[in-house]
Structure 1
Amino acid sequence: MSPPAAATISVRTTLAMLDGDKREIANGVANDQYVFWLGSGISREKMPDLGDIAKNVLVTLQARVDAGDADCRFRKALNAVLVLAGPSADEWGRIDLDAVPSGWADFDALAARLVNNYARMLNVAVEGEHPDYLLWDILGAAHVYADPAIEPDAEHICLAALAIEGVASDMPTANWDTLIERAITKLAGTQPVLRVVVAPGEVRWNRRRANLYKFHGCAQRALDNEAQFRDLLIARSSQINGWVAQNPVIAAELIHFIVTRPTLMLGLSAQDSNIQGLFAAAQTTMAWPWPSHPPAYAFSENALGADQEGLLQNVYHGDYNVGNRPFMEAEALVQAYAKPLLLALFLHVVTAKLKSLVELGVPGLADVDRDKLHEGLEQARNGVADSVVPDATIVTELIEHCGRAMTMLRSGDLPDPANGIYAPLTAEPLHRMPADMTLPGSGLCQFAVANGLIGLGLARGHWTAAKADVSDPMSGAIVISGRSGPAKIYFAANAQAAIRLGTNGLIADNDDAVIIHSHVIPAPMPRYPRRAPGRTGLAPTRETSIEDLLAGGTEVEDLLSRFRSQVAL
């Protein structure tokens, strides 16, 4: 059977979808309108499969059975788990509770059936033990889900980047693992970017740029403080069914999100009764009208399941009828799983911010010229999309390249490991950028114009682009190859950054390089180390000022011509 379309969709095709009929959702994310509801699907390739968990329960319980004791408490528990798998009479006849389950003829089939009953399975009690014995002792779940050897996947890295860009400010999750926390530490180092809420009292902590609500508990917290956090690991059916009533503080916080902000579900089936209860309670508080702009609900799925369709019925309430239902469901379905969708959203958000910076930096720009620079930014974005796949290693490399370029732009230096590998374009979502009074003088607006011009050059075949070598400090931000050959491209937001590129040893006087200054070019000074002679015929290091270019006119065709002349590529 071929894999679902949502799993095989390319990043470029996902971007085309976000540029097309899912544009409102993409723009909603760029404006930090969506709450990201995260489920086990985003950690599926890093954490145990539910089928394997079911097998582990069967095998470990059976290993503790006392074969000589017909009344053995582990035998009783094992039998109770098997009942949940619904064996036929023939299957019961082939089960030997005194034999290792992996040898049972129907072992795989029984485990597969337990997947849909995992909460009931974990609710099975063992006489004389804590109610969560299967979870805590049999499975060792806290150690498994907090395993420090497990690295974040592509989804977690992209979520971390979106959070640092200020467009994923609230992320409720049913996951116990700490992969999002690790991803943000990887990207932001020790910077205070993330607040993690697990216990009710933690909702009083100061909000941060990103806020993760682990409403089913946290494996690491449970290991670090078993007395407080062990019972907050939610897995058993009795816990799930009573969760809303027993957790009024966290429940109220989540209901507030559902009522006030659109929902984007990633890797979350919404089948747990407590999640359904939250959305039903939100509907009674204030239902969403349909249509809403942006759409009030979006699901990263291959197709909507019964639970998601039921959720739409609850939250749209009176507007959910025979006539509207097909349109509601088509609008809500984003047919790309979290891996390609989150990477495409990251590229969309960064490009949307660059477009906004163009408009902020050149307020009198004619519409036709603005559109050409936007086209150039999209061309550069699409080139990146064509060169990447949503793999953890590749996504991390992309994020590292972005962070390296932004750090050199701002300070003429390489990233400080204490601050992580990523530096955001801005820490604010799109709609708040015009109110940031630091942006016009930051050099970012001119940086955006420069990228638009480079993108136009790519579109028109004037040059090609390649990534820099992050292992080489002197490799620039990107490499552009034109008729005169390849040149390393550096960006400098201010005179200090430009000078520090040389004093920090990131560029040599006789490098084939171009420094693109946001503002005026600083006076020449002996600031760069020298390399052994390379190819000759061009001024080894060329410099251009976007501010000066714009002062000479903002008609983009002329601007591009003058830019090409100065960079001599």
Structure 2
Amino acid sequence: MSTAPKAATISLTETLALLDRDFAAFANGVADARYAFWLGSGISFSRFPGLKQIVVKALEFLRTRVGSVPDTCPFHAGLVRAFGIANLSAGERASIDLSAPVEDWPVVDLLRDRLSGQYAAFLNIDIDGEPLDLMVWEAVDVAATYADSTVLPDAEHYAIAALVREGLVTELPSANWDGLIEKAMGELTGEPNGLKVCVRSEDLQAPDQKATLIKFHGCAIRASEDEATYRPYLVGAQRQIDGWETNPRTQGLAQYLISVAITKPTLMLGFSAQDANIRKVFGLAAATQNWAWPGELPAYVMAEDSIGEAQTALLGNVYRDQFAGDDRAAIKSSAHLQAFAKPLLPALLLWALAAKLRRLARLGSFGLSEEMATWVDDGIQSFRNRIAATDDGDHLGFVLSLVSGLSRSKRIFLSGKSEIGATRYEPLTPIPLNQMNQDLESETNGLPEGALIIAALAQGAEAGNWSLESPQAPDTTNGTVEVTKGTRTDRVFVLGRPEAELALFDSEAVLEEDEDVILIHAGPIHERLPRSPSRAPGRTARSPGPRRLSMASLIAMGGTPGELMDRLKLEASL
């Protein structure tokens, strides 16, 4: 029996271990922006009704409209069709009292389970004399439910938005009706146009943005704002799914998704893969240009607790002859990443950020010996793992803390802005890992030295020289991190430019008399005129106030990692 953690309860630390080990090629592919993220309803499960809730809601919609003579009522006929789809026995049907709410029916749990597994057939029920999409538009009440502006994004949506800002995701096909990805992206970018949202084929011709979100089952928000235009694009019933890729209205989207499936490997998140149109897209893509197995990286990764029948059918459809042979079990295993989106997406963000820091450390003009490079890599890995260990299961709180902490650290690094509450996410670098070697700015913006500062602080914590914590209470005087040694806690500000220090003093985030402050500059230190003319510039052995040191100067002295640490501890009085 497997002892692997369940996909819903796996911790961030355990998820990172999967990415480091069995799925390292996949994680590196995400960091290189190679994967398309296919999004299903599971990523919004905690925000909107799930299929089982939708089933009860739609059944109640039908029940309350049954007339006084049920045998001649089209709504009663709709209920009878639902009972048939659920394969209720005569005895189970006889137990139903139509005068009682659906929730009180003895067979309500059975109906939830069976109809949620066949939701497309259930939503395909048509009522004589009513619009053909009655079950989707009115029974489910898509517009009122999924366009609710009071519903806030969850951890998955913010993590995806951050990955987009980091330049790591450019294609987001989604079966979801809601607008939480767009809302999260708007919050993190501070602008409405961070995504190119495509609901109709015509939308593909709009200007490109950081990423393209293909809402191939429609959009509740646009349908609520412009019913005449966007209501026909809401897909849920079997008739809509079966004819989706040949419908003139959506053919352009279908061709685009086929191209995505051909050119980018797939990560499926919150997806049951039971919709025939999705499997059809992947089948058509594989018929044109299939992905080989085994390959450089897994072409299909499914974030699931187990590989079910629908996922098995999809894998068989795309791998074909290989799936029919002796490799079937290995193909399933290579595609099965046992972590749902809520832990997986923050873990992918952390993994990619650490990978970028390791790459940045190699882009500096100083060069790294093999020994120093290994030491830096280990330090950054330790720093990443320490962050992951702070996750207590509140993934939303963790993601919001991560993106706000990173953004604030980046603003301090570049400009000395220490404000609290800024919502715009500042990416570590806005480009994927495989493009960073061509980024000439990284050689001079201080980020390579900044990566070494992070590694050194983490290595000091690993060696027991000090403890390392993120600032807890939001305060403009907080540093990038806090270093505690013995009974003393220092606020450490990591600075990429000389003017960043000036800004910290100008805003009084740091004061001349602060003795609990360490200012670590990535580059050379420029002497600063003090606010008080009675003090000499810089720090002397006797002068109170912040300690200042330059990582560039420490690196220039050469030597081993141990010698670098000795110099850092001496300069920082640690």
| TM over 0.5, shorter chain | yes
For residues 473 and 205 of structure 2, the distance between their equivalents in structure 1, rounded to whole angstroms, comes to: 41
- In structure 2, C-alpha distance between the alignment counterparts of 1:13 and 1:323, rounded to whole Å: 30
Amino acid paired to 1:38: L
Render the CA deviation track for 1:273-294: whole Å, top value 9, x for unaligned: 0000001101110111111111
Q: Does 1:38 align with 2:68?
A: no
**Mapping of residues 62-461 of structure 1, within 5 Å:** 62-68=63-69, 70-190=71-191, 192-246=193-247, 247-362=250-365, 364-388=367-391, 389-414=393-418, 420-461=423-464
Alignment partners' CA distance in 2, 1:416 and 1:219: 34
Distance 2:493 2:23 in 1: 35
Counterpart residue identity of residue 119, structure 1:
A
| CA contact 1:340–1:390 (8 Å) conserved in 2 | no
Moved more, 37-46 or 125-134: 125-134
TM-superposed deviation, 1:362: 4.8
**Out of 549, 560, 566, which is 2:565 matched to?**
560
Aligned-residue offset at 1:101: 2.7
Instruction: Give the whole-Å Cα distance in 2 for the aligned partners of 1:553 and 1:191.
Output: 48
Tell me: CA distance 1:459–1:559, structure 2 relative to 1, closer, same or farther (3 Å): same
Measure the CA separation in 2 of the matches of 1:112 and 1:60.
Answer: 18
Q: 1:476/1:46 Cα in 2 relative to 1: closer, same or farther (>3 Å)?
A: same
8 A Cα contact 1:185 1:420, kept in partner: no
The 8 Å contact of residues 40 and 176 in structure 2, kept in 1 or not, is answered as yes
1:551 — aligned with what? Answer: 556
Q: How far 1:302 sits from its partner (Å)?
A: 1.5
Give the direction of change, closer, same or farther, for the CA distance of 1:76–1:403 in structure 2 (3 Å limit).
Answer: same
Q: Percent identity?
A: 35
Q: Is the 8 A contact 1:477 1:490 kept in 2?
A: yes
1:165-199: CA deviations, max 9, x gaps? 01011111101111111111222211743221111
User: Is residue 40–residue 271 contact of structure 2 (8 Å, CA) maintained in 1?
Assistant: yes
Contact 2:549 2:572 in 1 (8 A): yes
Question: Aligned partners of 1:21, 1:99: CA distance in 2, in Å?
Answer: 52
Is 2:521 the partner of 1:517?
A: yes
Cα contact 2:174–2:213 (8 A) shared by 1: yes
Cα distance in 1, alignment partners of residues 201 and 381 from structure 2: 44
Worse-superposed segment, 232-241 or 91-100: 91-100
TM-score, length-scaled by structure 2: 0.94
Distance 2:555 2:394 in 1: 37
| Residues 320/132 of structure 1: CA separation in 2 closer, same or farther (3 Å cut) | same
Q: Distance in 2 between matches of 1:100 and 1:329?
A: 43
Please report how far the alpha carbon of residue 348 of structure 1 lies from its aligned counterpart in structure 2 after TM superposition.
Answer: 0.4
Structure 2, gaps ≥5 residues long? 533-540
**CA apart distance, 1:415:** 5.7
CA displacement 1:248-282 (0-9 Å, x = unmatched): 21111111111111111111111100000001101
Query: What is the CA-CA distance between 1:223 and the residue it aligns to?
Result: 0.7
The offset of 1:510, in angstroms, is 2.2
Counterpart of 1:532 in structure 2 is none
1:393 maps to amino acid: G
CA 527–547 in structure 1, closer or farther in 2 if over 3 Å, else same: farther
**Counterpart of 1:60 in structure 2: which amino acid?**
F
- Farther-moved stretch of structure 1 (279-288 vs 320-329): 320-329
| TM-score, reference length from structure 1 | 0.95
Give the direction of change, closer, same or farther, for the CA distance of 1:554–1:494 in structure 2 (3 Å limit): farther
For residues 456 and 70 of structure 1, the distance between their equivalents in structure 2, rounded to whole angstroms, comes to 76
The alignment partner of 2:449 has SS state of helix
Alpha-carbon separation, structure 2, partners of 1:321 and 1:74:
46
CA distance in 2, matches of 1:416, 1:197: 35
> Which SS does the other structure have where 1:453 is aligned?
helix
Q: Does 93-102 or 107-116 show the bigger shift?
A: 93-102
Which runs of no fewer than 5 residues in structure 1 stay unpaired? Answer: 529-535
Q: Which amino acid aligns with 1:265?
A: M
Q: Secondary structure of the residue that 1:543 maps to in structure 2?
A: strand
Q: Deviations over 1:216-260 (max 9, x none)?
A: 111111111111111111101100010011122111111111111
On the 8 A contact 2:83/2:93 being kept in 1, the answer is no
After superposition, the C-alpha distances for 1:459-512 in whole angstroms (9 at most, x for unaligned) are: 111111112145211111111112461111111111111211111232222221
1:43-62 equivalence runs, <5 A: 43-62=44-63
Are the equivalent residues in 1 in contact too, given 2:31–2:352 (CA < 8 A)?
Answer: yes
Rounded Cα–Cα distance in structure 1 between residues aligned with 2:398 and 2:531 = 35
Q: Distance in 2 between matches of 1:382 and 1:204?
A: 42
Which deviates more from structure 2 when the two are superposed, residues 128-137 or residues 264-273?
Answer: 128-137
Residue 27 of structure 1: SS of its match in structure 2? helix
Separation in 1 of the partners of 2:34 and 2:195?
18
The RMSD of aligned alpha carbons is: 2.1
Aligned residues: 561
Query: Quick one: structure 1 residues 429 and 146, their matched pair in 2 at CA, closer, same or farther if it must change by over 3 Å?
Result: same
Once the 2 structures are TM-superposed, how far is the Cα of residue 318 of structure 1 from its aligned partner?
Answer: 2.6
Counterpart CA distance in 2 for 1:192 and 1:138 is 32
The one-letter amino acid of 1:523's match is E
Give the residue type in structure 2 aligned to 1:400: S
Letter of the 1:161 partner, please give it. Answer: A
1:7-46, aligned counterparts within 5 Å? Answer: 7-46=8-47
Structure 1 Cα separation of the partners of residues 5 and 227 of structure 2: 40
Query: Following the alignment from structure 2 to structure 1, what is the Cα–Cα distance between the partners of residues 260 and 219?
Result: 21
State whether residues 366 and 556 of structure 2, in contact with CA within 8 Å, keep that contact through their aligned partners in structure 1. no
Letter in 2 for 1:25: F
Amino acid at match of 2:298: P
